[in-house]
Every structure is written in structure tokens, then in C-alpha cells.
Structure 1
Amino acid sequence: MLLRLFLFLFCLFGSLAAHATSVVFLNPGRSTEVFWVGYTRFMQAAADDLGFELTVLYGERDTQRTLQQARETLDSEVLPDYLLFVNEEHAGPEILRLAAGKPIKLFSVNSHLTEEQQRYTGNTRENHPNWIGSMVPNDEEAGYLMARELFVQAEQGTSGEIELIAFAGNRQTPASRIREAGLQRALAEHPRVRLRQMVYGEWSRQRAYEQAQLLLPRYPQTRVIWAANDEMAFGAMQALEERHKVPGKDVLFSALNTSREVLQARIDGRISALVGGHFTLGGWALVLLRDYESGLDFAAHGGKDRQVLLFRLLDEKQSRRLMQRQEQKGFGLDFWKFTLQGRPGVEDYRFSLDALLD
């Protein structure tokens, strides 16, 4: 009797495992890149909790590599159930073309297709009905929050002009351009701040370091440095320190992301304005797909395309708390609590960084 029960349970769970919902994520970053590795960790925690079989393919910052990975995935004999992709370097339309007519669902994260691209592709569930949705963070607000906080701090107890150098990410990445728009909004509100030059650091510490070596002597009165991610902030910081100046004192820095290194820099005061939160986005996207798999279409609960308010300024206390949560198994979260299953009175999702700051 016990043997029969064991065999029944073995077959049952084996069958469930064989039919686990499969997801492939085309990660555009490098497999050694702190942000994208952290992004994957959070996504994997959600996948483990929600019962997804997740495969992450790193593009290593090479768009052609990402497109080749998309081709191989979509030409395989056994297709995954879902393919998640980022419109990095405007790769989205080609990925959609490759997936046209395939029995697979697509979902875009982090960078949505631009308006110009959508004139040809249509939006989700239009010309490509298997492209079921998208989720992006509030990148414009992220750029704005960093800049505003920097400018307010720099203006305290001073008069006259405040000189600014800015390190943007990549001209071809929509998220980067949107963050720049946030910087411009803050500049319009703070006329004393003068943008001396903005360069594209390609998200790279080394490139920003080399650029800052040229810019800092050119603009010796620089008081604030706005950087669209943490790696570029650290590169510029290194160049500043080589000029025997102190980050957070002689020059105020902003940064974006939540690596352990940048959280510690915020705690130590070397970073004056830190914004983070979008490393959670891939995990939240899997929450939507879990409901979709169960017959709860997220389109009817907040929309098929959504911008999630994930970015927020982090003070010293919040930086410490987030560092602690990152060290916990599965980030200490029960991802099922964020689904709508078994919650008939809830009409929309509640995704925010607050879940990790409690």
C-alpha cells in the first residue's frame, strides 16, 4: 500500500515538473554586471517561488548576440512558454519579427518600444497578438529625483552658479534617454545649476573614469555630478579622488541602482543622492505571468502595458535595510502574496520597493 502511494506521488510530482511553465529571459547585460546579476537574482527568487522554470541568457552588451539567442530560442524544437525581452539598443522589433506566428507569449520589460518603432510594430496585442504585455519603471522620475536632490543639497548655504557634469547611459537605449528627460526637468526648476557638459558613459565604470579625467580639469568648478547608474558614478568618483578631492564633500554625486557597493557609499556619504528599485521589475513581471497562466489576465487588472513606480530615493537607513534584505534567501518575500489569486476584491497589483524596506 505504501509503495503504491509512493509511486502515485512520484508520478504526480514528476508530471507537474515536466509541465512546469518555462520562461526564457533575454538579459541584455553582462553576466558579470552587478545590476543585471542582481536583477536576475530577484527574478530567480520569484521564479522559484511561483513555480516557473527560468532560463536567463546574457547578451553581454552585444545586441547581435542577443538577437542570435532569440533566433536559437525561437527556432528550437521545444519552445518555452514565455520569452521576456528588453528593447535595449532598439532590438525589440527584430525580436517580435522572429517570434511572429510562433506559439509563444512575449513580454517586454524595462525598455518599451519607442513611439516610432510602434508605428511599424503596433503595440502589445495588436499586430503581434502573442506580445501580451510590457512593464517599465518610472525612468523619467528616477532622473528627476536624483537631480533634484543633488541640486537642493548643492544650493544650501551657497549663492551663485552651480556647475554640473552629467554622465548619461546610451543614446540607443530608451530608458537612458528618458532618465535624461528627468534631469532636464530638474534643471528647469533650478536655474542656478548650469549643465556644463553631458557625455554618454555607456553604463561603464572604465569609460566614465576616462571621460571624467578629461572633464574635471576642463570644468574645475564642478560642484555636482549626475550619473545615470552607479558604475558611471564610481568611475567619475575615481577620477575625482585622483585630483585629491572628496566625493560627498567637494563634489556631490548621484547614482542609480542598489548594488552592495553603492548602498555602502550612500551610507558612508560618498553618494549624496541614490535612487533604486528597478532591479525588482523582472520578478514582478513573473507575478503577472503567474496570474495570466491561471486565467487571470493582468490586462483587466491595471492594463496590459504598465509603468510601475519602482524608483525611489534611498536614505542611509533604507540603504541599510535593503542591504539586509538582499542577503536573505529569496529576499525574504512570498511572491504569491503579490498575485491576485484568491484575492477577489483586489483590482490591481501593488508593486513597489516598499516590500523590501519593511
Structure 2
Amino acid sequence: MQGPAGSVANRVGGTMSFLSRLKSAVVGVVAAAFLSTAAVAADGPTVGVVVPTLDAQFWNSYVAFMKKGADELGVNLVVLNADNKPDQMVKSLEDLVAQKVDGIIFTPYWATAARGLTLAKEAEIPVILTDSYPDFSPQTERFPNYIAFIGPSDEDAGYQMAKALFAAIKPGPDGKKVIGVVNGTAGTSVAIDRRKGLEDALKEAPDVRVAGEVDGNFVRDTSQTAFESLFQGNPDITGVWAANGGTATGVMAALKNHGKKPGKDVMVVAMDLNPENVEAVKSGELLFDIGGHWLQGGFALVALFDQIKGIPVPAGADNVKLKLLPLTKDRVAQFEKDFPGGVPTYDFRQHSRFYNKDAKPAVFEMQYSN
């Protein structure tokens, strides 16, 4: 993996954050998603994107970064929201195929990978999957149009979250550290792999007891309701492993409703590096966060753009799992210095082999400068 790129175009600045400046653009793209691509197309290719839900801050960050990339590369971006519904995910993919887009990027929650890839294969549309992956590899005879997967190293992230949590909580009278677990969307590789990382850490920590587990579906409100029930039945919980940023926000709200102070009475760890979670780490309410993988959408856009332009993704670079950036309170100042507004510097054209024959890989891992 390469470190952060050197030269930078269009660095985000001013008093507004990157995500704030692109919020209206994202809304506009989503609102126009079902319009004919002829209405927006100029010279550039049209790429369709389907996200699991735009109710989650993570996916808005993902789309915002892709929108920046589309502007720099000259891509018409069509974004569709599955709204946390499996049927809508498939319907969105059908719509993109009907629009005859030049490429598709989607996140195959709810076992939709094979169905979506089949639809795209029949229409000869190249596809990159992000965040969650199926039980088969890219660039095979079955799906030659599945050109790459780009997503996080979820198992490693889940393990780091757990280790930070276990180290911070104190044992009860019985010598046990009692934790609650709020998992993500059941059946997705994302949720499965993060839970594997937690399990790896539990095997190394016989003094930790899991009081119970609930499914938060990776969204705030569901996580809050689910954890409130879990905590009510297990008030001895002093640590919570939350599967993502929205989940952690819901958990912290639930704890406050029970008169508990996150970061003092109950420690919480999370994943995503959403802006509100970064603020929670800064304030001491959130013990540990890890993320940056919403960048995967922009990375995928560069690779798919080059593929459409006749520069294929190399077979050795078709399955990418990103190691993520950890954040604790003592690193917040460095994080804010290195990533103003939470955004790394990234020049999409410099990473495109179509625009730059000597381009570095489209993918890099966020790292602290010190």
C-alpha cells in the first residue's frame, strides 16, 4: 500500500467542512438518480452507485468523496439509495442496468452480489464491489465483469476495538469485565468479520464476559433501542463493543437515557471515524474509534473509470482490504492536523492511469504523519 499522495488538487479549506460543502451536491445527485443519464451526460462516462442507506453518516461521507472524484475525473455519477431494503437494492441495480450506465459500484448487503453481478454481466457492465464481499473472488470465469473488491480489513478493526475496550474497563467483584455487544447488519461480511475480530480478542481475554449481544443493523435508532433493552437486563455492563459509528452513537444515547456517562461509567468503542464520533472521542465519551474506509468509494471510482477507459484493474490488485486508522483522545490533535475536516488530501487524476500513466495505486491507507 502507498502512503498518502504528495501533490494535491482541490484541497478542502475555508470554514465549512468537506462534507458540509458537498451535502447539497449529494442530495442533488440522489434526487436526480432516476433521471435519464442523457440529461446529465456530457463527454464523460456514467457510473451508477448503490448504497445500503443514506440514513447513515458513513454512507453520506462515502458518496461525498465519490462526488469529489466524479467532478475531478469527469464522471456522471448516479447515486441510488437502497434504504436498508434488500428488494430496493436489487431494484436499484435493475434501474442502473436499464439506464445502460458504463459501470456500477455497489455494496452487496443481503446477499445481493450474485444477482447484481448477473444483471450487469448480461448488459456487459463492469462492476466494483465495496465494503462487503461475496464468497467468490473478482475476475473469475463466472463473473469476469466483477473487476475488483475494495473494502476495510474488518476483522483487524474488530480486534483492535476489542483490545482497546478490554484494556480500559475494570473487573467487577467476580473478577470479570462485563461487556455488551451491538452487532451490525446480520449476514453481511462486514458484520461477520468485525465479530470475528472481537472473538479473536475474547479468546485472549478469559477475564471478559459477554453479557449479551443484539443486532443494531449499523444504524443509530435501531442500535439505541436494541441496546436499551440489553442494558436494562444487564446493568453490570461496563463496556460496549459497537459495530460502527452510528451504532456507537445510539449506544451512547441509550446510556445517557439510563443516567450513565459514556466514557466514565461505561466505555464504548466504535468504527468509522464519522465526524460526530471523532467529536465524541475528543470529548472523552467514546474511548476508541477506527476507520477511514468510506474512502473506498472514491478509490473504486478511480479504478472503474480507468477500466471503462480501457485500462483494466490488474489481477494482483483486484481484492483490496484496507487497514484502518485508529483514533484515541491523545491522537485527536494529530488527526485534525493531518486530516482537516476528517479528509485526507487526494488528487483523483494523479491516481488515474488514464490521466497519469505513472499513477500510484488508487488506494492508500490513512496514516498519521507522526
Shorter-chain-normalised TM-score: which range?
0.7 to 0.9
Displacement after TM superposition at 1:284 (Å): 1.0
Post-superposition Cα deviations, 1:138-179, rounded to whole Å, max 9, x if no partner, equal 011111111111111225999921001000012121111110
Does the alignment pair 1:305 with 2:319?
yes
Show the counterpart of 1:14. none
CA distance in 1, matches of 2:249, 2:201: 22
Show the counterpart of 1:45. 68
The equivalent position to 1:316 in structure 2, one of 307, 329, 332, is: 329
Give the 3-state SS of the residue equivalent to 2:122 in structure 1.
coil
1:151 aligned partner, one-letter code? F
Show the counterpart of 2:188. 173
The equivalent position to 1:226 in structure 2, one of 241, 244, 250, is: 241
The equivalent position to 2:50 in structure 1, one of 19, 26, 37, is: 26
Alpha-carbon spacing, 1:214–1:297, altered in 2? closer, same or farther (3 Å): same
CA distance in 1, matches of 2:173, 2:310: 58
CA distance in 2, matches of 1:214, 1:314: 29
Farther-moved stretch of structure 1 (40-49 vs 208-217): 208-217
TM-score by length of 2: 0.80
Alpha-carbon spacing, 1:322–1:168, altered in 2? closer, same or farther (3 Å): same
Question: Percent identity between the aligned chains?
Answer: 28
Does the alignment pair 1:71 with 2:94?
yes
Displacement after TM superposition at 1:45 (Å): 1.3
Q: Which has the higher contact order (CA 8 A, sep 6+)?
A: 2
Farther-moved stretch of structure 1 (284-293 vs 243-252): 284-293
The equivalent position to 1:130 in structure 2, one of 145, 159, 166, is: 145
Show the counterpart of 1:7. none
For the pair shown, which has the larger CA radius of gyration, 1 or 2?
1
TM-score by length of 1: 0.83
CA RMSD of aligned residues (A): 2.6
Aligned residues: 327
Does the alignment pair 1:288 with 2:312?
no
The equivalent position to 2:129 in structure 1, one of 108, 128, 135, is: 108
Residue ranges of structure 1 left out of the alignment (5+ in a row): 1-16
CA distance in 1, matches of 2:362, 2:60: 25
Show the counterpart of 2:35. none
Displacement after TM superposition at 1:25 (Å): 0.6
2:48 aligned partner, one-letter code? V
CA contact (8 A) 2:242 2:268 kept: yes
Displacement after TM superposition at 1:22 (Å): 1.6
Q: Which has the larger helix fraction?
A: 1
CA contact (8 A) 1:124 1:134 kept: no
Show the counterpart of 1:343. 358
Alpha-carbon spacing, 1:41–1:55, altered in 2? closer, same or farther (3 Å): same
CA distance in 2, matches of 1:350, 1:100: 25
Give the 3-state SS of the residue equivalent to 1:245 in structure 2.
coil
Alpha-carbon spacing, 1:262–1:158, altered in 2? closer, same or farther (3 Å): farther
Residue ranges of structure 2 left out of the alignment (5+ in a row): 1-40
